[in-house]
Amino acid sequence: MKSTILSLSLLLALAGCDAAIIANQRAAAEAEAEADVAVKAGPDGVVAVEAAPAKDGDVKVAANVDVKVELKPEALDLETVTYLVKKGKVKDADALEKKLNNPKEKLHSIDIDGDGKLDKIQIVEVKQGDTIIFELHAFPSGKKDKDAFVIVGYVNFTADKTTNVLVVKATYAPVFIGYETIVYDYNVPIVVKNDVVVVTGGVGFYGWLYAPRPAYVGVVVWEAPTVVIDVHHDGCWPPGHCKHDHHHKHHKHKHKGKGKHWH
C-alpha cells in the first residue's frame, strides 16, 4: 500500500513539473515574439513597424500584417495637386498620376519602407453618388506587391446640385500627422441639366471627369531589376558563341604526274 501511495505521489509531482515547464516555454515564446517586432524609421518622419522575418524551423503562418505608418504633411504636396487640377495643368487622372510619380515635379517624397526610393502613387477612382473620390495609394518600392499599399490622401469632387457648385477638396489620410486639420478646397460653378453635371469653369479636366467613362484605376509599374552580365574569361557572350581558330594540318598527296602538289 505504501509503495502504491509513493508511486501516485511521484506521478503527481512529475505532472506538476511538466506543467511548469510548458508554462515557462509558453512565456518564453511570447516574450520572444514581442522582441521580434522591429521598429524602422525612415526619412520624412516615416516610421514603419513590422514583424521580424521568421527564423528557420519556425512555423510560418500566412497572415496580412498591417504596417503602421506616420508621415509628415510635407511628404505629399496636396496644395499643388489641387492647383494642377484647378488651373487645367492636367487633362485627366492619368496625367495627374504621372506628375505625382515624376521626381522632377517634387510632389511627394513618400518612402514608406525607408529604402531610399520614392514609392509609386496610384490613383484609384471611387464613385459615391454625386461625389467622385480619387484615392491616392502609395506602394512601398521594396515590396512590389499589388496588395501592399497605403492610402495617403484623397481628392474629392462633390457636385452640390442645390447650390450649383462643384466642391473640390483634398485631404490627407490618417497616416499623416495632423490630417484632421489640413484641407485644400475650392469651388467651381456647375450647371445641372437632367441630373447631368456640366462644369462651366472651362477647364478640360472637368469635362473628362464628368464624361461617360469607366472609373479610373492607375497602373503601377515597378522598375525592372538591374541585370548583371557575367562575362566569361574568354570574352564570349552568349557562352559558346565565339569562333575558335582551328589549325588545319597540311597533308601531302601524291598525284600521278611529273610534279608533287601540296595542299
Task: Summarize pLDDT for 184-215 with one digit per residue, the tens.
Answer: 999 999 999 888 899 987 678 999 999 999 99
Question: Does a structural domain hold residue 60?
Answer: no
User: Is 137 domain-assigned?
Assistant: yes
Decide if 206 contacts 188 (C-beta within 8 A).
yes
Q: Which pTM was predicted?
A: 0.61
What residue has cell string 559558346?
240
Average pLDDT over residues 225-240: 55
Q: Tens digits of per-residue pLDDT, 97-140?
A: 999 999 999 999 999 989 899 999 999 999 999 999 999 999 99
> Is 12 inside any structural domain?
no
pLDDT value at residue 228: 57
H or E element that contains 4? helix 2-35
Number of domains in the chain: 1
- Residue 201: per-residue pLDDT: 73
Compute the distance between CA of residue 229 and CA of residue 238 in angstroms, rounded to an integer.
Answer: 10
Domain annotation covers residue 92: yes
φ, ψ for residue 109, nearest 5 deg: -135, 35
- Residue 64 confidence (pLDDT): 32
Q: What Cα–Cα distance (Å) separates residue 218 from each residue in 7, 192, 207?
A: 74, 29, 19
* Mean pLDDT over the full length of the chain: 74
Cα separation, 230 vs 239, in Å, equals 10
Is residue 95 in a domain? yes
> Would you say residue 118 lies in a domain?
yes
Residue 128 has a pLDDT of 93
pLDDT of residue 204: 87
Task: Report which residue type is found at 24.
Answer: N
Residue 246 has pLDDT above 80, yes or no: no
Confidence of residue 221 (pLDDT cuts 50, 70, 90): confident
**Long-range contacts of the stretch 89-93 (C-beta < 8 A, 24+):** 90/205, 91/204, 91/205, 91/208, 92/205, 92/208, 92/209, 92/216, 93/123, 93/125, 93/134, 93/216, 93/218
Radius of gyration of the chain (CA): 34
**Is 48 inside any structural domain?**
no
Does any domain span residue 257? no
Range of the domain at 78: 73-209
Which is nearest to 124 in space by CA: 99, 153, 103, 104? 153
- Residue 32: exposure state from Cβ atoms within 10 A (0-12, 13-18, ≥19): exposed
